[in-house]
Amino acid sequence: MSALPKRILKETERLMADSPPGISAAPKDDNLRHFDVTVTGPESSPYEGGIFKLELFLPEEYPMNPPKVRFLTKIYHPNIDKLGRICLDILKDKWSPALQIRTVLLSIQALLGAPNPDDPLANDVAQHWKENQSAAIEQAREWTRQFAQ
């Protein structure tokens, strides 16, 4: 295990010592590449007041390849599907090794504050969002109350 890249150790240490507001991340005891993450819903978003659990995994090629992140808490969001997978460019083609766990989690938090139904992953949710935004937002609030509190 001593061969775990120094960068991962450093990032972990910094994340835990001073994590960004509304975000916490801690590695599992048996595997430092596997993180338990919680993100609080941004203020004045339908997810406000919710605490969302995620899992984050650093693949062997990290930081050359992006971390794998997934919502464990059910969430009603046009860019997050039923399985918790996230449609976010920096987790795919816009990944750069200059990014890090911190920036990824901040981007995910920002995604909660700014759903983008034009680049959907959950098509039904996106449809709902486009056709009746207020109803969709109300639904997202309801899910937040039901699953994330």
Partner 1 sequence: MDMSSHPLLASMDEPPPFPSNYPQLRRLDRSVYCQICKEPFQGPVSIACGHSFCSSCIRSSLDVLKKCPSCNEPASEGSIRRNRALEEITDAWEESRPIIYGFAQPPIAKKRPAPDSGSKPTSSSNTKKLKTSSREASGSRSQSPTKFRISNEEQDVDQTEDLQDEGNDDLDDVQELTENDEAPCPICQATLPISSIPMHIEKGCPPPKTRTNGIRKGNQKADWKKVFSGQTSSGKTKEVELKRITKPNYMIATPADLRAILAEYSLPTTGDKEILIKRVQEWIILFNSNLDTSHPSSLSALRARLSDVEASKRRDKEKGKDDMVAQLGNRDGLQKYAKDKKSEFERLKREIMERDKRRKDEEEGKGGRENAIEVE
Q: Which of 20, 21, 55, 52 is nearest to 39 (CA)?
A: 52
Using the rule CB under 8 A, which residue among 89, 92, 97, 133 binds partner 1? 97
Residue 64 touches partner 1, criterion: CB under 8 A: yes
* Binding range to partner 1, per CB under 8 A, among 10-18, 111-119, 131-139, 141-149: 10-18
Q: Phi/psi at 101 (nearest 5 deg)?
A: -55, -45
The answer to whether 40 and 22 have CB atoms below 8 angstroms apart is yes
Of 98 and 134, the one with the shorter C-beta distance to partner 1 is 98
Residue 92 touches partner 1, criterion: CB under 8 A: no
Q: Which positions from 104 to 123 touch partner 1 by CB under 8 A, shown as an x/- string?
A: --------------------
Of 60 and 134, the one with the shorter C-beta distance to partner 1 is 60
Coil, strand or helix at 12:
helix
- Give the whole-angstrom CA distance, residue 4 versus residue 32: 8
- Give the whole-angstrom CA distance, residue 122 versus residue 74: 12
Binding site for partner 1 (CB under 8 A): 1-7, 9-13, 16-17, 26-27, 29-34, 57, 60-61, 63-65, 83, 94-98, 100
